[in-house]
Amino acid sequence: MRLIVTRPLVDAERQAATLGALGHEPLIHPLLEMTYPPLTPLRLKGVQALIATSRNALRGLALNESFELARRLPIYCIAKHTADFARKSGFTHVICGTGTAKDMVPLITHAAHPETGALLYLTGRHLAFDLETPLKSAGFAVPRIIIYETHEIDQKSAGEFAQAVRGGADGVILMSPRTAQAFVNLIKNFKLRQEARKITCYCYSEAIAEPLGEIEGLTVAVSSNPTEDEMMRLIGPAPFKSSALADLRDALGKR
């Protein structure tokens, strides 16, 4: 299948490689661009642990002067891939969640104690789920640091995405609610409703699928668990094309 990968470039290339290994043809067209605003050194005194809900937060943290001190602290990560990235970045005490920010709340309240110190919450400007409010309700101090920002792509890149949709893509992979909304906006702006109804929208979670309801008739497939491994199981390996299967049979017959 020809699948449009919409993640920001640094993660899109890795996802495209996984899709290629499954026999698909990935088309990289990020719908969001990532930037890291300059920050003064983080104040870590009195902080008992960090919370990171994405690799982007860890990439932004690595640019901060306080990074060496920060990675000595425990860190709560939303999912396995973020936790693995944290370990590769030098964190030694990594607590891994099950894949959703909502599930992080009981994990943190069970493992941490408000009197031990603050929980430094590293996020983007836009939140898919707000961890700060329920943790504050449980008695924690939760200072939030906006460590990265995402922006919709420019007109040139938007036109290239539209051309990929018109060119006969089989599916589009959507990994965040903002990406899904950007997809909807582009489908409307470029008048691609008819083309969009011919493809499958593969969504990381139900929350990501919600904005797609603005366009009637879309085919939507949602991962049973919000993990990248489960997303790849949802998409599955590329089926043999009949011509490829015939070539394989011919090759075996000549042995």
Q: How far apart are CA 136 and CA 1, in angstroms?
A: 45
pLDDT value of position 78 = 87
Fill in the amino acid letter for 45. Answer: K
pLDDT value of position 128 = 77
pLDDT value of position 81 = 87
Using CB atoms within 10 A of its CB, is residue 92 exposed (0-12), middle (13-18) or buried (19+)? exposed
**What is the CATH number that goes with domain 35-150?**
3.40.50.10090
Q: Which of 170, 161, 168 is nearest to 33 (CA)?
A: 161
pLDDT value of position 252 = 41
Buried b (16+ CB within 10 A) or exposed e, 120-153: bbbbbeebbbebbebbeeeebebeebbbbbbeeb
The pairing of strands 219-222 and 200-203 is: parallel
- The answer to whether the beta carbons of residues 67 and 52 sit under 8 Å apart is no
pLDDT value of position 249 = 44
Strands of 59-101 (E only): list them: 75-77, 94-96
Q: How far apart are CA 243 and CA 108, in angstroms?
A: 53
Provide the residue-wise pLDDT of the chain in tens; the chain has 255 residues. 999 999 988 899 999 999 999 999 999 999 999 999 999 999 999 999 999 988 999 999 999 999 999 999 999 998 888 999 999 999 999 999 876 778 889 999 999 999 999 999 999 988 878 899 999 999 999 999 999 999 999 999 999 999 999 998 999 999 999 999 999 999 999 999 999 999 999 999 898 999 999 999 999 999 988 888 899 999 999 876 444 444 434 444 544
pLDDT value of position 240 = 60
Q: Which two tokens stand for residue 168?
A: 């006969």
Domain 2-31+154-243 class in CATH:
alpha beta
Q: Which two tokens stand for residue 99?
A: 């894949």
Q: Which of 74, 67, 144, 70 is nearest to 113 (CA)?
A: 74
Q: Give the pTM.
A: 0.83
For the chain, what are the domain ranges? Answer: 2-31+154-243, 35-150
Q: For the residues of 121-160, what is the DSSP string, one character each?
A: EEEESS-SS--HHHHHHTT----EEEEEEEEE--HHHHHH
pLDDT value of position 4 = 97
The reply to whether 35-150 shares the fold of 2-31+154-243 is yes
- The answer to whether the beta carbons of residues 236 and 22 sit under 8 Å apart is yes
